Amino acid sequence: MRRLLLCSLALLPLLSAAERPRRVVIVSWDGGADWVIDRMLGEGKLPNLARLAKRGVAAEHSSPAFPSKTAVSHYAIFSGASTEISGVTGNSVPILPRRDHTILESRSGFDANSHLAEPIWVTAAKAGKRVLTLSAAGSYPAQPDQERLRRARVPLDRWVGFSGFESSISGDFVLDGRKFRIRPMSETVTDHIVDFSVGDTKFEAVAVDADPTANERFEKVVIRRVGEAEPEAVLTPSEARSDLKGWSRGFRVQKGDLVGWTYFRLFSLDPKTGEMRLLVRAANGMRGTESSKVNAEYLQAYGGFHGNPFGTYERGELGEPLYRGGDGTAERRVVEQVRLDCEFLKRSFRYGLKRWNPDLVTHYTPQSDGAGHTWMGVLDTESPLHDPVLAARILPYYEEVFRLQDDWLGDMMDAAGAGTAFALVSDHGMAGIAKYFNVNQVLERAGLLVRTADGKIDLTRTKVCAPPWGDFFVIANTTDWKGGIVPLAERDSVIRSAQKALLEAVDPATGGRIVTRVWRPEEFVGLGIGGPAGGDLYLDVATGYYPSNRLSSDVTSPGSAIIGNGVHGFYPQLRKMQAIFYLGGPGVAQNKRIPGVRVIDIAPTICRLMGIPLPADSNGIVVGQALDR
Ligand SMILES: [Zn+2]
């Protein structure tokens, strides 16, 4: 079968060098749901994506991997390999080999040490291309992929890669009177001062008292690094706006040997009391294939890594959200932070292009995913907590996140010029839910899972569980795992018992069944499930539920937010889970809609467009209809 496939690919005519793009850029919008983007495109709200589609192809959709999660689908995109081959079966994965680790041991699925398949940055470097991964889920740490290059006798400098996610210095936070002690400077100076740190770097923010006898005393806040002779930042309060003029300049911060940049934004200052709402933007360091000097130069040109405005928003630190009676102020503050994020992304891309002149570039934004997780519980019309009035008020802010990302896409297209091909991809869709389904509680009630006195999974008595690295599947505690108790010959009957219990599980509040479908990897081929890091029984659940591996004494638990949660992970062919694939530029068929693709088809198609061999472990196919002949 595999040989046949390779023969048929070999018959596809190749583009000549003159017809190929001089460079390919792969951009990922995390959580870019096809159903959302289709609608926005139709309404003319994504002009730069429309421009890209015109000079190329738009796939009806792109089917994610299963579970449809960030690490899983991104690695399927970059390696062209499905999860049973890549080993990336979740945002967490088991530690292999099985004989040396129990089913309870896990590590991040983003960690390159977990990856069993070759990513496209290695494929392209092996083919003599210069690759720049400005951001690519699964590219950190660099050592495992540099080892792949070394084994292929490829100079390591063909791949320049960066990642900031693993190098947090500080998360976003808001300085206000609720959490930080604000005190008068001294008995004679009535300025209000707050001391705080970003990583190891100490700051003070001073609300300057212009006139203690006046009614309106405070009109500005001065921020300085403690003990540094450098210009201070002077901020006057201003509400969220459609430019970036409210932001301070960048301040260099440190944590251990990590160096990053933070920014300040004064959204409000009470003129009578000096009470302030001062946002301190997250700071991350940058690491990857390069020296700390190059990392610092890149990060400085970039401006700063991603902030996470949805965290402060959900904690109420940006003001009352619309769903708690707010008037949209908090949402506008979120959008302004996404605007800054996209501005930094523009700078990073332009700098990377100029400095490294790469043949293949990857870049990424998490903001559309954050927005979906935060708001989709109420926006999705099928969500049990959908509220049409509230949804109509929140939708413009959700769409603005995509519109800003579209603006970033357009800036990159302009910077790169007509000779560059762009692929816009996403990793999964988004749907709204109201309740969690506690898979392990069902297994416990069926006597298949046993807990220790302190409530943990007892591996000496547990036959099957949803492990810490999985929630859309369960795994039998078989003897091929360290500490396993189920003989391999009995796995089938244990899994069938688990299947029966799960299919019969009902929500005590409604009496309705929760699990709608199950798949066993050996019965369902072509789904890309199972493998050494995969599960023994995969499941999907009814609309409104999300499976959880947490240990609970209840079969269901409420969602974490009062408006429900936006989630993904479900069976990849569900409409709401579908992702996107757009490809445009030289060598690509023009202005054409093509049928749906799978995430594993993207890397092979891009490699064919570049005229290089396909990724070594890919089981995807070249989408011939996307190419110019
Ligand atoms: Zn997500």
* Distance from residue 242's CA to the centre of ligand 1 (Å): 27
Long-range contacts of 100-105 (CB under 8 A, 24+ apart): 100/482, 101/481, 101/482, 102/459, 102/481, 102/482, 102/483, 102/484, 103/459, 103/465, 103/467, 103/475, 103/477, 103/481, 103/484, 104/457, 104/459, 104/467, 104/468
Among 20-24, 71-75, 174-178, 180-184, the least confident range: 180-184
* Distance from residue 66's CA to the centre of ligand 1 (Å): 14
* Distance from residue 285's CA to the centre of ligand 1 (Å): 22
DSSP code at position 619: -
Q: Residue 12's pLDDT is what?
A: 55
Say how far residue 608 (Cα) sits from the centre of its chain: 27
Residue 36 belongs to some domain of the structure: yes
* Distance from residue 319's CA to the centre of ligand 1 (Å): 24
Q: What is the amino acid identity at position 468?
A: P
| 501 and 527 part of one domain | yes
CATH number at residue 439: 3.30.1360
* Distance from residue 5's CA to the centre of ligand 1 (Å): 34
Give the CA diameter of the chain: 87
* Distance from residue 83's CA to the centre of ligand 1 (Å): 18
The C-alpha atoms of residue 379 and residue 372 are separated, in whole angstroms, by: 9
The C-alpha atoms of residue 525 and residue 220 are separated, in whole angstroms, by: 64
Q: Residue 182's pLDDT is what?
A: 63
* Distance from residue 225's CA to the centre of ligand 1 (Å): 35
Q: For residue 505, what are its two tokens?
A: 């599980």
84 and 77 in contact (C-beta within 8 Å)? no
Reply yes or no: is the peptide bond before residue 67 cis, omega within 30 of 0.
Answer: yes
CATH number at residue 122: 3.40.720.10
* Distance from residue 156's CA to the centre of ligand 1 (Å): 32
Q: Residue 179's pLDDT is what?
A: 57
CB neighbours of residue 550 within 10 Å: 13
* Distance from residue 566's CA to the centre of ligand 1 (Å): 8
CB neighbours of residue 270 within 10 Å: 15
Residue 578 belongs to some domain of the structure: no
* Distance from residue 30's CA to the centre of ligand 1 (Å): 7
* Distance from residue 421's CA to the centre of ligand 1 (Å): 27
Q: For residue 183, what are its two tokens?
A: 């005190």
Closest CA to 247 of 259, 257, 237, 258: 237
* Distance from residue 360's CA to the centre of ligand 1 (Å): 25
Categorize the per-residue pLDDT at 193 as very low, low, confident or very high, splitting at 50, 70 and 90. Answer: confident
| 261 and 383 part of one domain | no
* Distance from residue 219's CA to the centre of ligand 1 (Å): 40
Contacts of 93 (CB under 8 A, 6+ apart): 71, 87, 106, 107, 108, 109, 114, 469, 533
Last residue of a domain, one of 259, 284, 309: 284
295 and 286 in contact (C-beta within 8 Å)? yes
| 56 and 121 part of one domain | yes
Residue 160 belongs to some domain of the structure: yes
| 20 and 140 part of one domain | yes
| 62 and 133 part of one domain | yes
| 37 and 158 part of one domain | yes
Reduced to 3 states, what is the DSSP secondary structure of residue 61?
coil
Give the 3-state secondary structure of 454-512: CCCECCCCCCEECCCCCCCEEEECECCCCCCCECHHHHHHHHHHHHHHHHHCECCCCCC
Q: Residue 259's pLDDT is what?
A: 96
Number of domains comprising the chain: 3
The C-alpha atoms of residue 280 and residue 175 are separated, in whole angstroms, by: 7
The C-alpha atoms of residue 331 and residue 72 are separated, in whole angstroms, by: 30
* Distance from residue 32's CA to the centre of ligand 1 (Å): 10
Q: Residue 209's pLDDT is what?
A: 85
Reduced to 3 states, what is the DSSP secondary structure of residue 224?
strand
* Distance from residue 365's CA to the centre of ligand 1 (Å): 11
Q: For residue 172, what are its two tokens?
A: 């976003």
Residue 268 belongs to some domain of the structure: yes
* Distance from residue 624's CA to the centre of ligand 1 (Å): 30
* Distance from residue 483's CA to the centre of ligand 1 (Å): 33
Residue 309 belongs to some domain of the structure: no
* Distance from residue 286's CA to the centre of ligand 1 (Å): 22
* Distance from residue 88's CA to the centre of ligand 1 (Å): 16
| 225 and 276 part of one domain | yes
Rg (CA), the chain: 26
Residue 323 belongs to some domain of the structure: no
Reduced to 3 states, what is the DSSP secondary structure of residue 423?
strand
For residue 34, what are the domain limits?
A: 2-81+117-164+359-430+592-627
* Distance from residue 68's CA to the centre of ligand 1 (Å): 9
Average pLDDT over residues 470-494: 98
| 209 and 133 part of one domain | no
| 400 and 454 part of one domain | no
Residue carrying structure tokens 């019969």: 504
Among 13-27, 81-95, 363-377, the least confident range: 13-27
610 and 124 in contact (C-beta within 8 Å)? yes
* Distance from residue 429's CA to the centre of ligand 1 (Å): 9
* Distance from residue 515's CA to the centre of ligand 1 (Å): 22
The C-alpha atoms of residue 329 and residue 239 are separated, in whole angstroms, by: 8
* Distance from residue 195's CA to the centre of ligand 1 (Å): 34
Residue 220 belongs to some domain of the structure: yes
* Distance from residue 284's CA to the centre of ligand 1 (Å): 20
The C-alpha atoms of residue 569 and residue 427 are separated, in whole angstroms, by: 10
Question: What percentage of the chain carries pLDDT values higher than 90?
Answer: 88
Categorize the per-residue pLDDT at 1 as very low, low, confident or very high, splitting at 50, 70 and 90. Answer: very low
* Distance from residue 45's CA to the centre of ligand 1 (Å): 23
* Distance from residue 51's CA to the centre of ligand 1 (Å): 27
* Distance from residue 70's CA to the centre of ligand 1 (Å): 6
| 147 and 216 part of one domain | no
Residue carrying structure tokens 């070249």: 622
CB neighbours of residue 327 within 10 Å: 11
* Distance from residue 373's CA to the centre of ligand 1 (Å): 6
Sign of CA dihedral 24, 27, 32, 37: negative
Total residue count of the chain as it appears in this document: 629
Q: What is the amino acid identity at position 42?
A: G
Q: Model pTM? A: 0.95
* Distance from residue 31's CA to the centre of ligand 1 (Å): 6
* Distance from residue 606's CA to the centre of ligand 1 (Å): 25
* Distance from residue 547's CA to the centre of ligand 1 (Å): 15
Note the pLDDT tens digit of each residue in 219-274. Answer: 999 999 998 888 899 999 999 999 999 999 999 999 999 999 999 999 999 998 88
* Distance from residue 320's CA to the centre of ligand 1 (Å): 24
Reply yes or no: is the peptide bond before residue 271 cis, omega within 30 of 0.
Answer: no
| 456 and 377 part of one domain | no
The C-alpha atoms of residue 68 and residue 28 are separated, in whole angstroms, by: 15
* Distance from residue 511's CA to the centre of ligand 1 (Å): 30
* Distance from residue 363's CA to the centre of ligand 1 (Å): 17
The C-alpha atoms of residue 415 and residue 349 are separated, in whole angstroms, by: 8
* Distance from residue 321's CA to the centre of ligand 1 (Å): 21
* Distance from residue 294's CA to the centre of ligand 1 (Å): 30
Last residue of a domain, one of 543, 558, 573: 558
* Distance from residue 300's CA to the centre of ligand 1 (Å): 28
* Distance from residue 26's CA to the centre of ligand 1 (Å): 19
| 443 and 487 part of one domain | yes
* Distance from residue 588's CA to the centre of ligand 1 (Å): 30
Residue carrying structure tokens 């995807």: 620
DSSP code at position 436: E
Residue 324 belongs to some domain of the structure: no
Among 4-8, 92-96, 168-172, 578-582, the least confident range: 4-8
Q: Residue 342's pLDDT is what?
A: 98
- Mean pLDDT score across all residues of the chain: 94
The C-alpha atoms of residue 583 and residue 26 are separated, in whole angstroms, by: 9
* Distance from residue 17's CA to the centre of ligand 1 (Å): 38
Among 171-185, 232-246, 346-360, 478-492, the least confident range: 171-185
On the question of pLDDT at 121 being above 50, the answer is yes
Q: Residue 337's pLDDT is what?
A: 98
Categorize the per-residue pLDDT at 198 as very low, low, confident or very high, splitting at 50, 70 and 90. Answer: very high
Bridge partners, 195 (sequence order): 204
